[in-house]
Amino acid sequence: MWGLWTAVGLVVAAGLGLGLVFAAADRVALTGAGPKALVEPVRSALRSLLEQRRTTLAPDRLLWRTACAAVPVLALLSMAVVPVGDRTLLSTSADLVWFNAMEALLWAAVWLIGWGPNAVHSLVGGYRFLAQGVAYELPLMFAIITAGLGAGSLRTTDVVAAQSDLWFVVTMPVAFVVFLGSAAAFAFWGPFAAPAGADIAGGVLSELSGVERLLVEAGRVVLLGASAAMAAALFLGGGSGPWLPDPVWQLLKTLLVTAVLVGVGRRLPVLRPDRAVELAWMVLVPATLLQALVVALLVLAGAYG
């Protein structure tokens, strides 16, 4: 039992740490700030704890509060199947399905955040996210399953072990890019931030304040940090590497993915909601299906051992 609680504590600490690193990197990309960027997310969190809670007319408080609390919880639960070395906190026969399921539930939670306040801008943002989540769920699922197809398993530790000779990003570049893009879409961040756009006064975030806003913002960056860690495991060999211990390699690759995601994502314009959905249905779904077909042929040819 003590070992279990220790593992849970480590996963929570890792998730919050990755979220803090992502928030700091994001702030550096936006403002060009130096080392102070590491401190600013903590200051913002403390200010949120002291901020007065905003109220609206006739909100659905139960759904609203529950959804706000669910966002960071689901983001942390997605970390449970990210492998560190040869272990995960939660080991199932379908770890990849678990990770995808947490993001699908997050989609529902964010929509409820838009619905709960009973406010126009929040509701419009919620419906934008609803359309975006539906569009990007399939590309994300295909990208994840492609990695499982190459490994012949849905366990994340097996996917990492299958990359001992060749990282999957070499033969699955489309799946790698789509995975990161879909993670950004589910966190409505970067070019997919239309659900929280300035044209609708902040959208799903417009009525959030105090602890609720802190929970949602923390959940978003934790999800992005967890997605960077999972991308390192699924496509960059996880902890495999010479000389250094496995956890160190996992961390270095996660930081590399974070830097690439922030560097690219903050240089792209925010897509109009209809353009974001069109990109998913017309480009990403066919691209990921073609990628899965190529990987299936490579599996039949014995390319993955």
Closest CA to 96 of 10, 159, 139, 150: 159
Q: Is 84 helix (H, G, I), strand (E, B) or coil?
A: strand
Cα(128)–Cα(228) distance, rounded to whole angstroms?
Answer: 24
Closest CA to 227 of 8, 13, 15: 15
Q: Which two tokens stand for residue 258?
A: 């974070």
Q: Are 51 and 125 in contact (CB under 8 A)?
A: no
Percent of the chain residues topping a pLDDT of 90: 49
Which pLDDT does position 89 carry in this prediction? 74
In this predicted structure, the answer to whether residue 143 has a pLDDT above a threshold of 50 is yes
CB burial class (10 A; 0-12, 13-18, 19+) of residue 13? exposed
In this predicted structure, the answer to whether residue 37 has a pLDDT above a threshold of 80 is no
Q: Are 16 and 79 in contact (CB under 8 A)?
A: no
Q: 152 in the Ramachandran plot: left (φ > 0), alpha (ψ -120 to 50) or beta?
A: left
Cα(245)–Cα(262) distance, rounded to whole angstroms?
Answer: 26
Which pLDDT does position 34 carry in this prediction? 62
Helix (H) or strand (E) holding 119: none
Task: Give the confidence band of 23 by pLDDT, cuts at 50, 70, 90.
Answer: confident
* Residue owning tokens 């609680």: 5
Q: Which two tokens stand for residue 24?
A: 């700091």
List alpha helices for 1-155, DSSP H.
Answer: 2-31, 40-50, 61-78, 95-115, 120-151
Which pLDDT does position 39 carry in this prediction? 72
Provide the residue count of the chain.
305
CB burial class (10 A; 0-12, 13-18, 19+) of residue 7? middle
CB atoms within 10 A of CB 113: 29
Which pLDDT does position 1 carry in this prediction? 44
In this predicted structure, the answer to whether residue 165 has a pLDDT above a threshold of 90 is no
Cα(135)–Cα(288) distance, rounded to whole angstroms?
Answer: 13
* Average pLDDT of the segment spanning 160-171: 90
In this predicted structure, the answer to whether residue 241 has a pLDDT above a threshold of 50 is yes
CB atoms within 10 A of CB 211: 17
Q: Which of residues 259 and 91 earns the better pLDDT score?
A: 259
Q: Which of residues 222 and 209 earns the better pLDDT score?
A: 222
Q: Is 57 helix (H, G, I), strand (E, B) or coil?
A: coil
Q: Which two tokens stand for residue 13?
A: 């600490």
Q: Is 87 helix (H, G, I), strand (E, B) or coil?
A: strand
Q: Which of residues 52 and 76 earns the better pLDDT score?
A: 76
pLDDT in tens, 171-192: 999 999 999 999 999 999 989 9
Closest CA to 169 of 143, 189, 187, 191: 143
